[in-house]
Amino acid sequence: MNAMNRTFAVLALSLASACGGSWSNKDLEFLGALPSRTELQSKLPGLSSTSRPLLGTRQDELAVGEASIAYADAKKASGDFNGLLDSLLTVVDTIRQLPPSQRTATSRRWGPYPDSKNPGAEFVLDMTQTDARTYAYVVRVRKAPADFVDILLGNFVATDQLTKGAGQLVLLPAAAKAVIAVSAPLDQLQRIDVGYFTADFPKRVDMVLTFVPGASSGLSGVGYVYRELASGAGAIAYQFRSTNADVSVADVVAVWSPGGAGKAAIEVKQGRYTGAAKAECWNDDFKITYFKEGWAGGTTGGEPGACATIEGL
């Protein structure tokens, strides 16, 4: 075989080996059954979150027209909620960008792929279609030759439209920590449970954080509930915690309209002001339009009619 023949042979082999790819209609179904950020994230409009406290440390009086403290706190909670979702979905999204390594009619496997952030570690995602609408998946990680450890479990039941349905997923930071490095705040968590419903409006995402025993935060659990309407209106309910002796624990429900105007109801559950409640409304510019401090000596400003009307949540 002369040089030219060898060249052609090598070229032909190279091209032949370059055949194939990730072109799969069925993959779309599996991938579509995985949760996505855009479907689950909180979409509270407006300014980025601030660090202004909700209650307790404020020294000056509330006043109509000032920047809303309740909005700022809801925005921070929304950011925290999204951050935790990111922690969960980063694992899924990383794998989603890679082609499946095994395909059967009812399953897909991605990996084992090396984890670039954890030298020596490799992860794998196994996904199974248990019936026409139901998918289950698990992400495992290991450092060979050790066995794989489950770090994320999930399932999803689709409606007639694949990306719409009801799902659950559980992230197990404590299990992952035994194999790979886990950064804060996940290192304080035993698990994160997420349930979501996107088949219809209002969409719903519930998140429960379970802390490891003896966590530095002193907490055992925290929960978020998020709702979203087709119009863009939304709500988030969460528990506010601080080291302030006046208000150490408070339940907060923030609701907003598509334009950003909203209102929040706060009820103190622990602290010197236990039982006290507060309502605050803001406009599209996130300025206070109405407030009412429901404790002795509390003040009221504006008119309740200045609050946005938001229904369906």
Note whether 26 binds another protein by CB under 8 A: yes
Note whether 18 binds another protein by CB under 8 A: yes
Note whether 3 binds another protein by CB under 8 A: no
Subset of residues 147 to 186 that bind another protein, contact rule: CB under 8 A: 158, 160-163
Beta-carbon contacts of 239 under 8 Å, excluding residues fewer than 6 positions away, are: 222, 223, 249, 250, 251, 252, 269
Question: Where does residue 244 fall: left (phi above 0), alpha (psi -120 to 50 degrees), or beta otherwise?
Answer: beta
C-alpha span between 89 and 35 (Å, rounded): 7
Q: What is the CA radius of gyration of the chain?
A: 25
Note whether 128 binds another protein by CB under 8 A: no
Judged by CB, which is closer to another protein: 199, or 306?
Answer: 199
Note whether 24 binds another protein by CB under 8 A: yes
Subset of residues 64 to 123 that bind another protein, contact rule: CB under 8 A: 96-97, 103
Supply the minimum distance, in Å, between the C-beta of residue 100 and another protein: 9
**Per the structure block, which two tokens stand in for 284?**
């599209």
Note whether 1 binds another protein by CB under 8 A: no
Judged by CB, which is closer to another protein: 134, or 239?
Answer: 134
Supply the minimum distance, in Å, between the C-beta of residue 59 and another protein: 46
Element (H, E) at 165: strand 165-171
C-alpha span between 313 and 310 (Å, rounded): 8
User: If you search the block for the tokens 């979203």, which residue do you land on?
Assistant: 228
Note whether 127 binds another protein by CB under 8 A: no
Q: Binding another protein by CB under 8 A: which of 43, 133, 241, 292? A: 133
C-alpha span between 271 and 265 (Å, rounded): 17
Which spans of this chain sit near another protein (rule: CB under 8 A)? 15-16, 18-29, 31-32, 34, 36-39, 96-97, 103, 132-133, 158, 160-163
